[in-house]
Structure 1
Amino acid sequence: MGFMIMVQRACTLALVGILAGAIHSALSKPLQLAPKPPAPPEPTPTVANPGVVSPKAGASAETPKPAALGLDISVEQAWELFQSGTPFVDARAMNEYEEGHIDSALWMPSEEFMNGHTPEALQLLDAKAPVVVYCDGGLCDASKNVVVLLQQAGFTRCHILTDGYPGWVKAKHPIATGKPQIGGH
């Protein structure tokens, strides 16, 4: 009986050593991050003045191609999409939306998707068209959570405004206050 206990302890010790080695190996490997999307192409010269790039004043002549923009977009890229009529989704809490939101943004926090519920505002969006989602930017994950839920619902052209609502306000772009027209049960 003493021999069996020694064998059992030896096997347990070997198993602990193997697990410790595996954990050490997994933790000591550098974290592999997804590659950054390629930089957008440089502006092309105008036909009237070859070699001269036309400035972007107001609305751009061409709406940026959402697929080329990538998931994370800047305030400037979001502004171009806003001017082209792309819908915006506010992923923040109701009180934050009411205090101020991007003009005409739909309110759709991740909680609206709970228990198999489909947010009312989702019915106003086209799954094949681009949509910009925002929250407070920085470390706020609310927009990322909503984008994941939208992607699960079939939306393939979602973008996250990385600087969020504060970046939009800082750029002095249109904002509004008040309750959402749809949603907000």
Structure 2
Amino acid sequence: MSLKKGSSRIFLQAILIVIFSLFIGVIYNTISKEGISLKGNWSKKVLSDSLIVPYSYDKNDPPAITLAQAMTYFQSHNIIFLDARSETDYKAGHISKALNLPFEEFEKYYPKVERLLTKDKNIITYCDGTECEASLFLARLLRDKGFKNLKIFFGGWTEWNKAGLPVQKSN
């Protein structure tokens, strides 16, 4: 009987420690200059009325562009679109003339597209949409490899396809 009583006492103490810790955490978050909102969506932030980016986007990252800007670049023909999604997603549909360079398998796919890329070529990375960060991570990898003219289209495949812009499917 005393073992059962001792176990319930330890359990109660653990619950009190968790509640106290949560209380301290909420108080600290409330008074901290870098605290986060306790409710809402933290996965993205708004840079302007037409530009939503993932929360992990940093001011030192390659510039983010809107759908209108992506379309202007597409029409200039002096651009390479890199699809950061998986090969399966790419084959199901992608921005017309885009190359597939999946972020998750960068080391496998980079040698296949490397000869098509030059360090001074204009490159736009994209993935599924604002919830997807693969385009951001791909742009960072390319920047680390010395590519300079990088842009990120966070609207990605979802926004492009929804707008009825040129798309392709691959076999």
What is the one-letter code of the residue matched to 1:109? P
For 1:99, the equivalent position in structure 2 comes to 92
Counterparts of 1:7-26 in structure 2 under 5 Å? none
TM-aligned CA deviation for residue 113 of structure 1: 2.8
What's 2:69 paired with?
77
- Greater strand percent: which structure? 2
1:153 to partner: Cα distance: 0.9
1:88 partner SS: strand
Say yes or no: does 1:170 pair with 2:170: no
Q: Note if contact 2:86-2:104 (Cα within 8 Å) is conserved in structure 1.
A: no
How far does the alpha carbon of each residue in 1:95-124 deviate from its partner, in whole angstroms, 9 at most, with x for none? 111110001100001233338x84311220
1:103-154 per-residue CA deviation (whole Å, 9 max, x = no partner) reads 1100001233338x84311220121121111101111011011101110111
**Scaled by the length of structure 1, what TM-score is found?**
0.58
CA drift at 1:91: 0.5
Percent sequence identity over matched residues? 35
Contact 1:89–1:134 at 8 Å: present in 2 too?
Answer: yes
Give the distance between the partners of 1:119 and 1:103, measured in 2 at CA: 21
Structure 1: runs of 5 or more not aligned? 1-19, 38-69, 180-185
Q: Give the CA RMSD over aligned residues.
A: 3.1
Q: 2: CA distance between counterparts of 1:95 and 1:120?
A: 16
Give the distance between the partners of 1:134 and 1:113, measured in 2 at CA: 14
Structure 1 counterpart of 2:103, which letter? S
Q: For residue 34 of structure 2, what is the amino acid of its counterpart?
A: P
Are 1:127 and 2:119 an aligned pair?
yes
- Count of matched residue pairs: 125
Number of the residue aligned with 2:147:
155
Query: Residue 41 of structure 1 corresponds to which residue in structure 2?
Result: none
Distance change (3 Å), C-alpha of 1:92 and 1:78: same
Cα distance in 2 for partners of 1:162, 1:110 equals 14
* 1:129-181 deviation per Cα after TM superposition (whole angstroms, max 9, x unaligned): 211111011110110111011101111111111211011111111100014xx
Residue 113 of structure 1 pairs with residue 106 of structure 2: yes
Tell me which protein shows more helix as a share of its residues: 2
Superposed structure 1 runs of 4+ greater than 6 Å apart: none
Report the TM-score, using the length of structure 2 for normalisation: 0.63
Judge conservation of contact 2:127–2:135 (CA < 8 Å) in 1: yes
CA contact (8 A) 1:112 1:119 kept: no
